[in-house]
Chain A
Amino acid sequence: MSRFLQIIFFALLVRPVLLLILGMNVRGREHLPKKGPAIIAANHNSHLDTLTLMALFPLRDLHLLRPAAAADYFLSNRWLAWFARNIIRIIPLERAGMKKNPLADLEATLDRGEILILFPEGSRGAPEQRIQFKRGVAYLSKSRPEVPIHPVFMHGLGKALPKGSWLLVPFNCDVIAGPAMHWPGSTADLMTGLETQMNALADQGHVPSWE
Chain B
Amino acid sequence: MPEALSQNVIWALGVIYGLLIVASVIVGILKWRSPGKATTELSRRVTSWWFMITIFTVAIVTNRIVSTVFLGLMTYLAFKEYISLIPTRPVDRIILFFAYLAIPVQFTFAHLNSYGLFLVFIPVWMFLFFPMVMTLVGKTEGFLRAVGTLSWGMMITVFALSHTAMLLAAGPSAGPAGGAGLLLFLVALTQFNDVAQFTWGKLFGRHKIVPKVSPNKTWEGFLGGLGSTMVVAALAGPFLTPMPFYYAALAGGMIAIAGFLGDVTISAFKRDLGVKDSGGLIPGHGGILDRVDSLTYAAPVFYHAMHFFVFSGRI
Contacts and interface: CB of A to CB of B under 8 A. Distances in A.
Which bracket fits the contact residues of B?
20 to 34
A4 interface: no
Interface in A171-211: 171-173, 206, 208-211
A174 B299 CA distance: 30
Interface string B84-107: 111111100110110010000000
Contact of B87 (A23, A127, A170, A208): A208
A86 B265 CA distance: 50
A26 B283 CA distance: 12
A35 B281 CA distance: 27
Nearest to B91: A211
Given A208-B273, A210-B87, A169 B93 contact: yes
A208 B90 contact: no
Given A171-B84, A206-B85, A23 B279 contact: yes
A159 interface: yes
A210 B89 contact: yes
Decide if the interface of chain B is mainly helix, strand, loop or mixed: helix
Contacts of B90: 127, 159, 162, 210-211
A173 B84 CA distance: 8
Interface in B94-126: 94, 96-97, 100
Interface stretch (B20-28, B75-83, B203-211, B237-245): B75-83
B89 A23 contact: no
Contact of A211 (B85, B89, B97, B275): B89
Given A127-B90, A210-B87, A210-B90, A169 B273 contact: no
Interface of B: 76-77, 80-81, 83-90, 93-94, 96-97, 100, 273-275, 279-281
Given A27-B280, A156-B84, A171-B83, 4 more contacts: A23-B84, A25-B280, A159-B88, A169-B93
